[in-house]
Amino acid sequence: MRIEVPYGEGKEIVEVSSENLGEIVYQKEVKTDDRLQIILDAVKSPENSPPLPEFLRGAKDVLIIVNDATRPTPSWRIITAILPFLINKKIKFLVATGMHREPTEDEYAYIFGDLFPAIRQDVYSHDSKKSECVFLGTSKNGTPMKINKMVMEADRIIVISSVEPHYFAGYTGGRKSFLPGVSAYETIEANHKLALSIKAQSLKTNGNPVAEDMEDAMKVLKDKKIFAIMTVLDKNHRSCCAHAGGLKESWEKAKETADDIFIINLKRKYDIVVAVTAFPYDIDLYQSQKALDNAKYAVRDGGVIILVSACRKGVGPENFLNLLASASSPKEALEKIAQGYKLGYHKAAKMAEIGLKCKMMAVTKLDPAVARKAHLTPVNSLQEAVDQAIHELGPKSKVTFIMDAVITVPRVPE
C-alpha cells in the first residue's frame, strides 16, 4: 500500500505491504464551523461569567493574552469577532511565549493576521527572563508564582487559547496561558521540573503535579477579572467549537470536546509506530518530541518509533539536547537529570524514558549528528526507516501510522 505523510512543505511516501500494515490513524472527522458567529454566541452566553459586553463595562484598559506561533489557535479570527465590544477601550496584546523566543515578524502576522499592522504598537511579547514579573506567593509544590506585571496592571483580561492534549500538563489552554505563558523563568523551571513525575502525562489532570501547579497559579490570580475564549480545532486547524466565560469552566467544556476529537482507540500495541508531526508543531525538535511521547502509548516494548518531522527551525531551546548529548545512553541521561535539574531537562527525561522502552528513528531535516545527540537514529527517508525497522524486528512486524501525532493520543486495550 502506498502511504503519503506530510513533511515540511512536501510529503514523504512509503510503500508498506498488506502483511506489514497495522493501522493508519487520523484525527476523527468532526463538524467544523469557522464562522465568527460561533465566537459571538459563546461570548454572549458564557460559562459562569457575565456576557463579554457586560464584563467589559467600565473597563479602563484591557489586556488580551494570545498564544504564540507554536499553536494553531485562530487568535486573529477571535479578536476580529470581539473587536466591536472593544471600541473606545485601551487595549494591549500580550503573546504568551512561556520560555519560547519572541515571535518573528512573519509569526506575528500568523498570530494576528491582517490586524497586525494596525495593532503592532500595542503588541508585546512575554520574555520569561527579562519581562518585569510580580511575586504572588508559592504553590503547594513549592513553585514561586511570578507573573508578568502587565497582567497585574490590567483592569480586565481576555485569554484566547485552544485546547488539546499536552504530554505532561494534561491539556493545553486555559491556565497554561498564565503558567508557563506569562510567568518568570524561575516559575516555569520549578513547574516543569514536576514533569519528571510519572503522573505528569497526557490527558491527566487529577494528581498531575504540573497541572496542580497551574491551578495554584489561577488561585493567586483569583482577584483579577478574567474572561476566557477557548476553541478546539480539528486536524486542519478549523474550529469545532468555542466556549467562553470563566477560565476554568470554559476550559473544562473545551476539554470534553478535545477528548472526543484527539483520543484514538487502537486494536493493540504495534512493533513499529510512525509518528507524523504536522504543521505548526514541526517547527523544531523541541516541539516535535511531543509526537514521540504520544507514540509511546502505541508501541510495544522493544519496538521502534519513527519520528517524521521537518524540524523547520532546527532544535529549538537547546538545554534538553545538551543534556542528552552529554550522556552515552538514555539511562545515563536520566541519572544526570536526577543529579540536578535545569529548565528543558523534563524534555530530555521524557525522550530518555522512551529510549529505554524502544528504539527511536528520525526522518528530519536536522544534521544527522544533531539527531544522534538526542539518541535518535537519523534516516534519509521514511521508506528507508520502515524497511530498516522491519529488517531489525522481523518480516512479520506490523507498522502503524499516527498522523498529527503531537495531538493524537492513542489508547490500547489493557
Check which CATH number belongs to the domain holding 339 and give it.
3.90.226.30
- Domain boundary residue among 211, 230, 262? 262
Question: pLDDT tens digits, the chain, 414 residues: what are they?
Answer: 999 999 999 999 999 999 999 999 988 888 888 788 999 999 999 999 999 999 999 998 999 999 999 888 999 999 999 999 999 999 999 999 999 999 999 999 999 999 999 999 999 999 999 999 999 999 999 999 999 999 999 999 999 999 999 999 999 999 999 999 999 999 999 999 999 999 999 999 999 999 999 999 999 999 999 999 999 998 788 899 999 999 999 999 999 999 999 999 999 999 999 999 989 899 999 999 999 999 999 999 999 999 999 999 999 988 899 999 999 999 999 999 999 999 889 999 999 999 999 999 999 999 999 999 999 999 999 999 999 999 999 999 999 999 999 989 999 987
pLDDT of the residue at 116 = 97
Q: Does residue 252 sit in the same domain as residue 271?
A: no
- Domain boundary residue among 240, 262, 284? 262
Query: Taking the model in full, what pTM does it have?
Result: 0.88
- Whole-number Å distance between alpha carbons of 70 and 258: 18
Q: Does residue 297 sit in the same domain as residue 205?
A: no
pLDDT of the residue at 334 = 96
pLDDT of the residue at 289 = 96
Q: Does residue 101 sit in the same domain as residue 13?
A: no
pLDDT of the residue at 239 = 92
Q: Does residue 198 sit in the same domain as residue 59?
A: yes
pLDDT of the residue at 288 = 96
Q: Does residue 238 sit in the same domain as residue 195?
A: yes
Q: Does residue 319 sit in the same domain as residue 245?
A: no
Q: Does residue 45 sit in the same domain as residue 148?
A: yes
pLDDT of the residue at 414 = 76
Check which CATH number belongs to the domain holding 167 and give it.
3.40.50.11440
pLDDT of the residue at 34 = 76
C-alpha cell at 271: 512493533
- Domain boundary residue among 231, 262, 293? 262
Q: Does residue 251 sit in the same domain as residue 291?
A: no
Q: Does residue 245 sit in the same domain as residue 321?
A: no
Q: Does residue 119 sit in the same domain as residue 100?
A: yes
- Whole-number Å distance between alpha carbons of 198 and 206: 13
Q: Does residue 120 sit in the same domain as residue 189?
A: yes
Number of structural domains the chain divides into = 2
On whether the CB atoms of residues 76 and 115 are closer than 8 A, the answer is yes
Q: Does residue 67 sit in the same domain as residue 214?
A: yes
Q: Which domain holds residue 314?
A: 2-28+266-411
